[in-house]
């Protein structure tokens, strides 16, 4: 098996792109990725992997592999795939591309794309709820946000926290997102504003809930032989892993334990011959503070019941022990559905290239991006390593 590298990347701003189609967004991201890899021509792309969660339900387009291969003008002999695992779709598309390159493909293009704002809020809520067990959860009117909210309330009950204890997560996300030109929300918030925000699904309020928005991100995943043609620091995908859990929260032994998040992170780190303590920067699925909390604790960064305390002490800031959401996270960069996993890996690659600007984590050499589908029913982790 060959080593696998990221040699190009590009993304559109996350936003309400009313004037632009799914094809427009995917095309812009793919062109930007190619432009970032001088010397690489479109005809070298050996396979296309598209991650998207909602293209059927919210955009009315299936078969995105063939659809986008056509838009991009790839030769008809290039295999093209669409990968779906709700919010983990982009992470899973990268996983598939990495597998292909490990097994001899010189170059793969990954596109994560989501176009949701043609639909109203109620349709978006219903589409997101499909990632749960539709018969046993969505059928009862339970939304993904309400499920995270129930986990938050249970966590508060078991460990004695108030809702305010989760404020450091969106405050950190917004502080970082304010410095990211591609972020959906480029403004800072503070604890006073957090306390006053209206409820969405109690105890989750508006400033602790991400917004689903449009966007596309693309990566060029290449073999070692191709990557050697580039100068500068090389970013290697040192380990990747996928794990699953029951989509239905009520089927889990302990709903506060994101079992698949732990398994995928540990298997990916094991494949990279690294441990949790070796990671300098993290990208997590963090639409709410409780989501980041449960992931950090499942992965083993912190003991159960302690992550909000560490966050309040600065541990999740770019200067902290476990920096997260350095580009704004799901809360401020925006939740881009199935494209989120690709945005996450791009942010880790920027951090390891030391081109992350105002939110750069000093001397970052190892990063882990984890994307979850539903409440961690699918968990995909990618460990990236800077080779100098």
Partner 1 sequence: MSIARHWRERTVRYRLEGQRHRHTGEVRFPVRPPALDEDPNDWEPYQLSGLGEIYSFSVIRQAPAGFASLGIYPVALVRLAEGPLVTAQLTDCDEADLAIGMPVEMVTRRLMDTGEDGVLVYGYKFRPCLR
Question: How many Å apart are CA 108 and CA 366, to the nearest integer?
Answer: 23
Question: How many Å apart are CA 163 and CA 71, to the nearest integer?
Answer: 46
Strand-pair category, 281-283 with 366-373: parallel
Closest CA to 72 of 29, 38, 114: 29
Using rule CB under 8 A, residue 187 touches partner 1: no
DSSP 8-state symbol, 198: P
DSSP 8-state symbol, 360: P
- Stretch in the footprint of partner 1 (CB under 8 A) among 37-45, 153-161, 257-265, 365-373: 153-161
Residue with tokens 């959906």: 184
The footprint of partner 1 on residues 197-226 (CB under 8 A) is 198-204
- Stretch in the footprint of partner 1 (CB under 8 A) among 2-10, 44-52, 71-79, 146-154: 146-154
CB 146 within 8 A of CB 196: no
DSSP H or E run through 340: helix 340-353
- Stretch in the footprint of partner 1 (CB under 8 A) among 78-86, 93-101, 123-131, 214-222: 123-131
The footprint of partner 1 on residues 349-368 (CB under 8 A) is none
**Nearer of residues 255 and 367 to partner 1, judged by Cβ:** 255
Using rule CB under 8 A, residue 160 touches partner 1: no
Residue with tokens 């945005």: 343
Closest CA to 286 of 119, 148, 92: 148
Sequence-ordered strand ranges (E) for 229-314: 234-244, 281-283
Omega prior to 211 cis, within 30 of 0: no
Using rule CB under 8 A, residue 123 touches partner 1: yes
- Stretch in the footprint of partner 1 (CB under 8 A) among 41-49, 143-151, 172-180, 281-289: 143-151
Using rule CB under 8 A, residue 279 touches partner 1: no
Q: From the CB of 114, what's the least distance to partner 1, in Å?
A: 18
Using rule CB under 8 A, residue 290 touches partner 1: no
The footprint of partner 1 on residues 222-251 (CB under 8 A) is 248-251
- Stretch in the footprint of partner 1 (CB under 8 A) among 103-111, 136-144, 170-178, 215-223: 136-144
Q: Contact with partner 1 (CB under 8 A): which of 24, 56, 118, 136?
A: 136
**Nearer of residues 199 and 358 to partner 1, judged by Cβ:** 199
At 144 the three-state DSSP class reads: helix
The binding site for partner 1 (CB under 8 A) comprises 121-123, 125-126, 129, 135-143, 145-147, 149-151, 153-154, 157, 198-204, 248-251, 255
């Amino acid at each position: 098996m060959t080593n696998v590298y990221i040699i190009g990347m590009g993304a559109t701003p996350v936003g309400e792109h009313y004037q632009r189609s799914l094809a427009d967004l995917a095309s812009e991201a793919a062109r930007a990725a190619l432009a970032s890899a001088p010397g690489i021509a479109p005809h070298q792309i050996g396979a296309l992997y598209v991650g998207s969660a909602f293209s059927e339900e919210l955009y009315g387009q299936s078969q995105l592999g063939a659809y986008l291969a056509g838009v991009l003008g790839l030769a008809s002999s290039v295999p093209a795939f669409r990968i779906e695992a709700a919010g983990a779709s982009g992470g899973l598309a990268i996983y598939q591309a990495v597998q292909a390159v490990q097994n001899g493909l010189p170059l793969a293009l990954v596109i994560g794309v989501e176009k949701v704002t043609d639909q109203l809020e109620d349709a978006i809520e219903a589409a997101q709820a499909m990632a749960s067990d539709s018969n046993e959860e969505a059928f009862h009117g339970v939304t993904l946000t309400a499920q995270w909210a129930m986990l938050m309330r249970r966590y508060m009950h078991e460990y004695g926290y108030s809702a305010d204890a989760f404020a450091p997560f969106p405050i950190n996300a917004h502080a970082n997102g304010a410095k990211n030109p591609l972020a959906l929300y480029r403004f800072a918030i503070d604890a006073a504003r957090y306390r006053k925000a209206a409820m969405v699904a109690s105890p989750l309020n508006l400033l602790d809930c991400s917004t689903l928005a449009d966007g596309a991100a693309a990566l060029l995943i290449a073999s070692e032989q191709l990557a050697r043609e580039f100068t500068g620091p090389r970013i290697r995908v040192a380990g990747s892993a996928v794990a699953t859990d029951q989509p239905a929260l009520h089927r889990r032994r302990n709903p506060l334990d994101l079992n698949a998040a732990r398994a995928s992170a540990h298997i990916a780190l094991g494949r990279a011959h690294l441990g949790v303590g070796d990671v300098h920067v993290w990208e997590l699925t963090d639409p709410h503070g409780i989501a980041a909390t449960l992931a950090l604790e499942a992965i083993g960064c912190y003991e159960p019941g302690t992550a909000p305390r560490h966050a309040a002490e600065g541990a999740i800031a770019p200067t902290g022990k476990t920096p997260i959401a350095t580009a704004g996270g799901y809360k401020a960069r925006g939740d881009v559905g199935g494209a989120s996993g690709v945005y996450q890996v791009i942010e880790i690659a920027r951090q390891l290239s030391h081109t992350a600007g105002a939110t750069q984590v000093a001397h970052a050499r190892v990063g882990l991006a984890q994307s979850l589908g539903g409440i961690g029913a699918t968990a995909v982790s990618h460990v990236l390593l800077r080779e100098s």
